[in-house]
Chain A
Amino acid sequence: SQTIHQWPATLVQPVGSPLSLECTVEGTSNPNLYWYRQAAGRGLQLLFYSVGIGQISSEVPQNLSASRPQDRQFILSSKKLLLSDSGFYLCAWRASGSHEQYFGPGTRLTVT
């Protein structure tokens, strides 16, 4: 069966520090991968998605970037965090040919 992992589970970082969040999927090949942010009062917002290695589409101009160095690995990064980057970051995967997405456990990021 397929599983999706995210780490770290929680993170507290000062303003201006770098960020790296990791997402990995097991038990499937060539998944479509997605990063969402859930911020208080703003619902769930799609940040990036990837249909393959090295292929990244950005949905919202922002202080973040994403990379997909391996088929089942998706990384969310920032060079300098802003207070507004605080939120709950969710990674999701989708099998090619299907429409439903499956979510990871999330990372709670607090920027202080």
Chain B
Amino acid sequence: AQSVTQLGSHVSVSEGALVLLRCNYSSSVPPYLFWYVQYPNQGLQLLLKYTSAATLVKGINGFEAEFKKSETSFHLTKPSAHMSDAAEYFCAVSEGAASKLTFGTGTRLQVTL
């Protein structure tokens, strides 16, 4: 079975600083990988997806992620954090013909002034 590990349940950055959220996956086949964002009491919003095309994936709100097969990683980055980026972020891997998602445990991003 596939799995996802997110290192760091809480990350705090200053406004304007680099955001780096880590995700490592385990998969026996080429994976489909996703990052989702969740604001309090809301559903999940798709930030970006990797589907075996370009290894550097650009998403919404200035986020991007790089797929590194050798490191089995799919870290999420943003050059300059904004207060509105404060939320919980989930990395997920898609599995099987039904494309069931397996999620990491999430990383809560705090942005301070």
Q: Which A residues are closer than 8 A to B by beta carbons?
A: 6, 32, 34, 43-44, 46, 49, 51, 57, 59, 88, 90, 92, 94, 98-106, 108
Q: Given A32-B98, A43-B106, A44-B103, is A100 in contact with B49 using a C-beta cutoff of 8 Å?
A: yes
CA distance A90 to B103 in the complex (A): 13
The number of chain B residues with a CB under 8 A from chain A is: 22
Which residue of the partner chain B has the closest CB to A102?
B46
CA distance A6 to B49 in the complex (A): 24
A32 to B46, CA, bound (A): 17
Some 18 contacts from A to B, beta carbons below 8 A apart, are A32-B99, A34-B100, A43-B106, A46-B100, A46-B101, A46-B102, A51-B98, A88-B41, A90-B43, A94-B99, A99-B32, A100-B32, A100-B94, A101-B46, A101-B101, A103-B36, A106-B41, A106-B43
- A108–B43 Cα distance when bound, in Å, is 11
In the assembled complex, which residues on chain B have CB atoms less than 8 Å from the CB atom of A101? 46, 99, 101
Answer whether residue B90 sits at the interface, using C-beta atoms and an 8 A cutoff.
yes
| Other-chain residue from B34, B42, B46 in contact with A106 (beta carbon distance below 8 A) | B42
Let me know if B27 is at the binding interface, CB within 8 A. no
CB contacts (< 8 Å) of A100 on chain B: these are 32, 34, 46, 49, 94
A108: which B residues are within 8 A, CB to CB?
A: 41
**B99 CB, min distance to chain A CBs, angstroms:** 5
4 further interface pairs, Cβ-Cβ under 8 Å (given A100-B32, A103-B45): A43-B103, A44-B44, A94-B99, A99-B51
